[in-house]
């Protein structure tokens, strides 16, 4: 997105603010589906948790995608955005049986990842088709915070517990219509992912009424110039060949499903923040912005790196800056990063801010969560208003403690 466009948005709507480019979302969707155009039935289920604004969901729907959800609230957001229940898969972790049952009444596809709930749900609702999430015990992502298929992960049913799954299915008479895995984020080694896929294929052979196999997602996107990313085209070619072979042996053309979140929206997003103070110490120059980890926590939570540009002075001489926030904690976005010379009042743009950025924002320090803007067909649309002080107080219950009657304590 052009720097002038971002500056105009910051001037019109204020800062801090999240900005999304619809064209990038569309192009990423087309890139993924094109990589698998030799599979008869492909379903892309967008991971709502990455960016859950209802306007973004409507854009995703217009492309022909479904949704991957992890809470009943995300399911209801999908329904509010116009998705049909059968276009939504519900893949929670550690939720109650009651929440799963409530989602089932809405008509979404249920995906279960533990033996206890599988048996309880199958016993009570044997006629409702269920997908099973398998843990392949493969470390395919980045660090353990974002890799969820390793042996110590809380996600999925261990491949070593397949006999237990089969016993539950046989005893309850439940129908298994899908098999699923998700190994984690930032997958670089395609061969490791393909190895995990072979485990999923072997598991699928145990179930005779499958309709789809869900391979999760976790494709890496570049976070800085020269950064490496998942080769989607090579991956598509290799997995397509293996998937089509499996379907031939299985005797049915199954649907190949994915659940990308970051891949679709990360590069489409920008976070804009204004520089409040440039502070020189004995060893460091700090650029202190009108934001903090209450708005963008990923650098502090995961150690993730977001490229930062001074869009107010893009051609200025580069200097080293540590970009920090205004929160009463250590909230460092970048240490000694080369950025075009910064002055107070300049606007900094954080790239790759489309996924897991606004969705993790909070009101810490009683700060307002920022606004969101979608740029579509060259026009900027406000898709979330900036919060106000009334929003901070909205759900608080104000009790006048001094007017309460004192209770007599009996000795």
Kindly name the residue from 131, 247, 328, 357 that is annotated as catalytic: 328
pLDDT, residue 192, reads 85
Helices (H), 258-297: 262-265
**How far, rounded to the nearest angstrom, does the alpha carbon of residue 67 sit from its chain's CA centroid?**
11
Dist CA 200 CA 257 (whole Å): 13
CATH number for 36-260 (one of 3.40.50.150, 3.20.20.10, 3.40.50.2300, 1.10.8.100): it is 3.20.20.10
Q: What does the pLDDT profile of the chain (411 residues) look like in tens digits?
A: 999 999 999 999 999 999 999 999 999 999 999 999 999 999 999 999 999 999 999 999 999 999 999 999 999 999 999 999 999 999 999 999 999 999 999 999 999 999 999 999 999 999 999 999 999 887 554 544 434 444 567 889 999 999 999 999 999 999 999 999 987 656 667 888 888 899 999 999 999 999 999 999 888 888 877 788 888 999 999 999 999 999 999 999 999 999 999 999 999 999 999 999 999 999 999 999 999 999 999 999 988 889 999 999 999 999 999 999 999 999 999 999 999 999 999 999 999 999 999 999 999 999 999 999 999 999 999 999 999 999 999 999 988 887 776 655 555
Dist CA 357 CA 351 (whole Å): 11
> Which pTM was predicted?
0.92
Domain range annotation of the chain: 36-260, 269-393
CATH architecture assignment, domain 269-393: Beta Barrel (2.40)
Dist CA 364 CA 397 (whole Å): 18
Dist CA 278 CA 348 (whole Å): 13
pLDDT, residue 153, reads 73
Dist CA 69 CA 78 (whole Å): 9
* Residue 247 among the catalytic residues: no
How many angstroms separate the first and last alpha carbons of the chain?
Answer: 72
């Amino acid at each position: 997105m052009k720097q002038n466009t971002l500056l105009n948005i910051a001037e019109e709507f204020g800062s801090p603010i999240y900005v999304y480019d619809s064209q990038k979302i569309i192009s990423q969707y087309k890139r993924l589906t094109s990589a698998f155009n030799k599979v008869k039935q492909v379903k892309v289920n967008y991971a709502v948790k990455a960016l859950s604004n209802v306007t973004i969901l409507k854009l995703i729907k217009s492309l022909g995608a479904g949704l991957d959800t992890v809470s009943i609230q995300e399911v209801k957001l999908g329904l509010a955005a116009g998705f049909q229940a059968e276009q939504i898969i519900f893949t929670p972790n550690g939720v109650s049986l009651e929440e799963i049952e409530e989602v089932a009444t809405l008509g979404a596809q249920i995906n279960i990842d533990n033996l206890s709930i599988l048996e309880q749900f199958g016993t009570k609702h044997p006629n409702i088709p269920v997908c099973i999430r398998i843990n392949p015990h493969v470390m395919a992502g980045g660090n353990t915070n974002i890799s969820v298929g390793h042996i110590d992960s809380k996600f999925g049913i261990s491949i070593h517990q397949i006999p237990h799954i089969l016993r539950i299915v046989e005893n309850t008479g439940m129908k298994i219509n899908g098999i699923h895995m998700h190994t984690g984020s930032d997958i670089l080694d395609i061969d490791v992912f393909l190895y995990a896929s072979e485990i999923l294929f072997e598991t699928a052979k145990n179930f005779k009424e499958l309709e789809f196999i869900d391979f999760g997602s976790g494709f890496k996107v570049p976070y800085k110039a020269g950064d490496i990313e998942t080769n989607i085209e090579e991956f598509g070619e290799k997995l397509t060949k293996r998937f089509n072979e499996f379907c031939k042996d299985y005797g049915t053309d199954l649907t190949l499903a994915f659940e990308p979140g970051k891949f679709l929206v990360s590069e489409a997003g920008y976070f804009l923040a204004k520089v409040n103070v440039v502070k020189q110490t004995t060893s460091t120059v700090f650029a202190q912005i009108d934001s903090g980890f209450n708005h963008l926590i990923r650098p502090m939570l995961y150690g993730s790196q977001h490229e930062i540009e001074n869009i107010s002075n893009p051609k200025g001489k580069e200097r080293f800056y540590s970009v920090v926030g205004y929160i009463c904690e250590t909230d460092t976005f970048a240490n000694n990063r080369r950025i075009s010379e910064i002055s107070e009042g300049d606007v900094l743009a954080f790239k790759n801010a489309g996924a897991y950025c606004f969705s993790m924002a909070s009101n810490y320090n009683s700060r307002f969560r920022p606004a969101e803007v979608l740029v579509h067909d060259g026009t900027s649309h406000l898709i979330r208003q900036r919060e106000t002080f009334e929003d901070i107080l909205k759900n608080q219950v104000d009790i006048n403690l001094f007017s309460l009657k004192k209770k007599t304590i009996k000795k």
